[in-house]
Homo-oligomer: A and B are copies of this chain.
Amino acid sequence: MPPVSCNVKILNHTPEPLALIYAAFRQCYHSGYIVDMWERLLSGAVSKEEQAEFVRKVIESGHTSPIEHVSFTFAAEGISRALSHQLVRHRIASYSQQSQRYVNASAFNYILPPAIAKNPEAKACFEKCMLDITKAYGELKELLEKDGRGDKAKEDARFVLPQATETRIVFTMNCRSLLNFFEHRCCLRAQWEIRHLAELMLEECKEVLPVVFQYAGAKCESLGYCPESEKFTCGRYPQKS
């Protein structure tokens, strides 16, 4: 049960994402049927630069519904249950998370917060606590199995597992939901762990679909000012006057 760190990958995404967004936008203002345009789009009749330029302008003016047609599926490991509880609060998304009811946690991994890692005394205290919990989990699981709880032993023993326990999760979000996710979670006011996840996700998204994600990030990036109060602003952008 070593400390582990965040690893997130795009497992899958909608193919030809730029062409799809371009085609969907065009269908709104175009008299023809977009299927007739689709093959031409894929064969390069409209250059990727031209598609990107068109899409960029419409997104900038605030009309972002067609980017919903494109979804990304991520798989993450090395994240804590503290993080995943925040993650699943994003409701325009789909989640498949490792279950603590079904998966044995006898040798659970955990996330070690950086601020604790760099203070030796705190680190020792944290690690001892992880060991205490591992021991308690094992004992409880055994005692409950003796009581005939069978598979349900894990379900109850896990009540001692810490928020730091590693979890693994597959999740899908469309681009519009992702922009919202980045607005909230790339902000310095967000908790460090989910902010780190968001930054890694954003890097991956930028590679696949730069036109949508180029200027994505904390709200201040698009607003040009920080909406947080004086107490919470990080100072990168001025507050709204």
A residues in contact (CB < 8 Å) with B: 7, 9, 11-12, 14-16, 20, 23-25, 27-35, 38, 57, 60-62, 65-66, 68-69, 71, 73, 75, 77, 80-82, 84-85, 88-89, 91-104, 110-113, 115-116, 119, 121-122, 125-126, 128-130, 132-133, 136, 139-140, 143-144, 147, 149, 152, 155-156, 158-165, 168-170, 172, 174, 191-192, 219, 223-224, 227-229, 232, 240
Contact = CB atoms under 8 A, between A and B. Distances in A.
A176 B162 CA distance: 33
B229 A129 contact: no
Q: Majority SS of interface residues in chain A?
A: mixed
Contacts of A14: 12, 14, 71, 73
Contacts of A223: 223
Given A28-B97, A35-B75, A155-B192, 14 more contacts: A25-B96, A27-B96, A27-B169, A65-B94, A66-B96, A68-B172, A82-B159, A88-B88, A116-B156, A125-B139, A159-B162, A160-B162, A160-B163, A160-B164
Protomer copies? 4
Contacts of A69: 12, 73, 94, 96, 170, 172
A88 to B, nearest CB: 6
From A16, A113, A158, residue with most partner B Cβ within 10 Å = A113
